Structure 1
């Protein structure tokens, strides 16, 4: 298939932007002009124009993508020329308020750039020579008369970096290619046509900082110029398409986004024309593509009848319809199956072609009617194994969908839900089955998730290229000079793109089109760490931030050998110490800044921020703790309440057993932490026993929910008239609100199941006001009081870790979710929106917030290399 060659065109498109930063820094009002475009050679791959104002300059000054595409060395060269020429006071009055153009042209094994800058007033030739001599003192300036014009050459003594300028017809034309300037001035060289130029100007948005014009006839020429092999199937879809596209830039500092209109020549023999009378519709097949997808070509049909009619007309135009009809007549005769009446209703409106990183191909087709498929499957296919079939007749898919599936003549296939997965080799489907069962899917990769945030899923045609999985394929397709640039990570940044994609949608006979290049920006969250802290073993707790002094804070984290590390906000070690056992739950800080925690070796620790144990600590406790201790002032004394299986242990902050409490033996294992509210203590157990104690440890009331099981934490909630109650949800998703005065109030949650993870958004007073329900892959947040849904989200993998909560600075909390199976972490605000930059690659248990009193917000997370990363956000 070689879909991935489209990357070469997309990469080429992106180069346009680099010139913008260096040649667009002129102020003045934009003035329409067509005349400069009439001098551009017919062999123009792309044309770009941009607005000449300070706003544009500010937008693009930190746009890393441009430097990545054009190369850092040439980028610096352009910067020098911009500073010395276009910013020079002598030339500035002549170029203020004019449109500027950048175009790209084929030249031997390279692509030459041409800068076209008209002047508002004519400049005398002698004045130009004098200006260049003054403005470019570090260059050697030479002159050459040719075609009755004078070409100035600026030479800095660096090979292949001589910049040539000609002032022709009141326009500056400049390029590193002298031969390109000759083509501009030579009237015998074919130039861009008037219709092409008019289309560009008509679709040039004044609200966009950059507009690009592209003639479709250049597609095979671009492919031929860049590739050392024949074009793949995607490029061939555009053969003889005709027409042109005009795109405008939507600014995003970590993505190149071009969108606009495309006009075609309406040639009946072209496959793409079938979608001109369609309109964009949802595309969902990508949810089934394997993780090693290098590229895919996905199609969606909005009007099946119209598409079917146009496809038959295309097949007739090609002289293929009669042969196919004869074949299907034979099927009707032998199997009493009508191709026109029985088969099309079975199949859906989506189909796709996937190229994997090993260059093998899969196809995907949606099923419209599974009942009809079950009825006719034995008539059109033969079972070859338990779940695999093979079509009995050739060209069925070609007759249904056309060119993209022509190579799947008589494929094998299997069913996944309402999807057919097809391959020309049975072994490929066996491999896909294994990937599907293990959820090794494209949608689980970080690169695709970054692309999905920017690229929508509504179109008629989407071509997607994933850089990490396709780079070797792309490299092998490119000619030597272009391959060298693609591989050069020091001077270029092609490998720093997550993906490239094109989306096309029908628009009343023409098309809307968009191009997306999603970049791994060094400024993006998770790209560049402020510091990295290395461990000897795997960290096993979430990083926590505590006060160190009046002026500083510190980070506490434990690794697998039970060493506890205290880390300065700058990333340096303050101290480390081996504790006896693994920290259970979270550490707590008291008002005197001492830290209290428990370990699974039945130890209670209390130490100061310097790591020094307080007198009497650490100490052994009677039972193994099962969750985070709760520390509270109650009955005039500060006590530590430790859940320990079926026991409630109570200690003073001096390490003594609380005399009035003794050890409380309960009827079941304690559910997570202990709740303290209004001088009362509340405990819940797995088997439905809920306790209310007073400040001296006396049992006030026991509420028993018989024949019920609980596995999620309890919460304190506020009721009307300033009352409070315990809130708990059992494994049957029945909630119980218990105030220990009246009968518990129950409510069926309806969402979730017995495996659901439930947690609660905390208030500053210790009560909860909303809940998060994680049911396998589905997240739902609800208000506790009225059970109304707030927002939901579906992950691509089952979530097995409880949510984390982080203060957002406005008395609210952010919700952190870790997807352990694909090493991604998410952060949602209270409206359900993902925080910018998320998800990112990290292991479960992370921290988000300030790491020092006056610091910026940071993400602290551990990755698979067992290091702690500090990312400023």
Structure 2
């Protein structure tokens, strides 16, 4: 019996030792495999990843829409890299089946730089691969510790190699910076990508977004600050992991968005289940963009909003304002908006730049009556609040811009704007049925996505021309208007649905609907 115990003990110790060695080696291998991921994730706001195999390039060759997003110059560079570099046998063999990461980051001036990172397979000699590049297709010039590759079509790139890591960029500074990086202090985005990549193994490609780095990327594109509608990209501590769904007609990604900032307004919606969106039925035909929010249980959501005000150090002012209004007008605002709010609200902007907010109500006539003393008549069907920050107190950040707005209530919707003329424009278009839902392209767009969401960001390409003209730097506005640029797209949408603390997400770039040619029904064949 004693021998049995000793034997079992030895076997147990052996198993523990083997397990330790296995997981130690596994951890070492994992750390090595993270080199390319860490390199791109620590520097890029947008990361696109795929496995370097033949099937990926064959499938992607049928997707021309990526070229419209990249622009003529970047598209030419990537095409040249594929044809002149990645197609070379020595290079392709060295990274065949390896994960390739493509990152976009803000560069100097108006430049958006790209960064490609990958790792050589074990057993491959990186220096031998570099030496094999000199050919009729590629001219190699060593500059310090990096290489400049010039192709026959006059495009060029810069390559850096560190152990098994290879990085490629359009600018030498990006490559030099990667090679000099030693201990990365912030691996949160890289760890997020790594944890989410486990669930995306069977997808063709994945898109990862670090909203923390969005300001640095957008400053190269925009000639304005990240305020107004663009404020959603400013100081948003959020990550997104999305899987690419191949389609020749659209660019569609599905996945998750995680809001890491507990003080973010969007955090209030991460546990709110999706609702069927109907408030877009009132939006004018010339709507350039909108953000729709849905709430299934206002009472519990308002408790979260109150906590959010506290985190913003604004709860005392909000409470004092509501109390003062209630005492002054002898009413109870808490018996108006919380009681008669339905389940969604929206902020939107017209092609002219006019900005609006709208709130869906259960009983618009009753709300009109309850707000009589608190409002002043301006024109038929148009009133103005006598006091400030009423909508903000009950719905938060989106209505902060409407401090003491003009408003109208029509068909159980309260519509707000900072100018009476804007309300008049809205009423005219609404009554004449000049609505966005009447647009064929918008109807086609709606068919591509779920009709339900918690938050939905939307941009109408055609109606945003003047707005983008004011906000985009000339090179990017030119790309936006070009037939080989964003003109091919009709709309952009980023849809979020609350799911236990995170968002299930859909990102769609929708192309214009091809209208069939009308034939003359009276025409006869000869």
Specify the SS of the correspondent of 1:498.
strand
CA distance in 2, matches of 1:155, 1:183: 24
Change (3 A) 1:407 1:39: closer
Counterpart of 2:92 in structure 1 is: 92
Shift of 1:401: 0.5
Q: Is the 8 A contact 1:471 1:495 kept in 2?
A: no
CA distance in 1, matches of 2:351, 2:290: 11
2:315 pairs with 1:321: yes
Shift of 1:467: 0.5
The alignment's C-alpha RMSD in Å is 2.5
Shift of 1:90: 2.8
Counterpart of 1:511 in structure 2 is: 503
1:773-820 residue CA offsets vs partner (Å, 9 max, x unmatched)? xxxxxxxxxxxxxxxxxxxxxxxxxxxxxxxxxxxxxxxxxxxxxxxx
Counterpart of 1:242 in structure 2 is: 237
Match of 1:280 among 249, 262, 274: 274
Shift of 1:397: 0.3
Shift of 1:110: 0.9
Shift of 1:335: 2.7
Change (3 A) 1:264 1:82: same
Specify the SS of the correspondent of 2:89.
coil
Specify the SS of the correspondent of 2:476.
helix
2:501 pairs with 1:500: no
2:117 pairs with 1:140: no
Equivalent residue runs for 1:73-152 within 5 Å: 74-108=74-108, 109-124=110-125, 126-133=127-134, 136-146=135-145, 150-152=146-148
Counterpart of 1:526 in structure 2 is: 515
Shift of 1:526: 3.0
Specify the SS of the correspondent of 1:340.
helix
Q: Is the 8 A contact 2:364 2:414 kept in 1?
A: no
Specify the SS of the correspondent of 2:257.
strand
CA distance in 2, matches of 1:272, 1:64: 34
Counterpart of 2:196 in structure 1 is: 203
Q: Is the 8 A contact 1:40 1:191 kept in 2?
A: no
Counterpart of 2:171 in structure 1 is: 177
Shift of 1:213: 1.5
Equivalent residue runs for 1:587-626 within 5 Å: 609=526
Q: TM-score normalised to the size of structure 2?
A: 0.87
CA distance in 1, matches of 2:41, 2:242: 20
Counterpart of 1:153 in structure 2 is: 149
Specify the SS of the correspondent of 1:222.
helix
Equivalent residue runs for 1:34-73 within 5 Å: 34-40=34-40, 42-72=42-72
CA distance in 2, matches of 1:342, 1:80: 62
Counterpart of 1:862 in structure 2 is: none
Change (3 A) 1:143 1:329: closer
Q: Is the 8 A contact 1:50 1:209 kept in 2?
A: yes
Q: Is the 8 A contact 2:40 2:117 kept in 1?
A: no
Shift of 1:327: 2.7
Equivalent residue runs for 1:839-850 within 5 Å: none
Shift of 1:80: 3.7
Change (3 A) 1:344 1:165: same
Change (3 A) 1:37 1:76: same
Change (3 A) 1:55 1:140: closer
Specify the SS of the correspondent of 2:331.
coil
Structure 1: where are the runs of 5+ without partners?
1-31, 530-538, 545-555, 558-565, 568-608, 610-873
Q: Is the 8 A contact 2:42 2:187 kept in 1?
A: no
2:487 pairs with 1:543: no
Equivalent residue runs for 1:643-792 within 5 Å: none
Counterpart of 1:349 in structure 2 is: 343
Q: Is the 8 A contact 2:236 2:261 kept in 1?
A: yes
Shift of 1:371: 5.6
Highest relative contact order (Cα 8 Å, sep 6+), 1 or 2? Answer: 2
Q: Is the 8 A contact 1:476 1:483 kept in 2?
A: no
Q: Is the 8 A contact 1:462 1:504 kept in 2?
A: yes
Counterpart of 1:440 in structure 2 is: 434
Match of 2:352 among 358, 362, 387: 358
2:186 pairs with 1:193: yes
CA distance in 2, matches of 1:126, 1:504: 46
Structure 2: where are the runs of 5+ without partners?
1-31
Shift of 1:452: 0.9
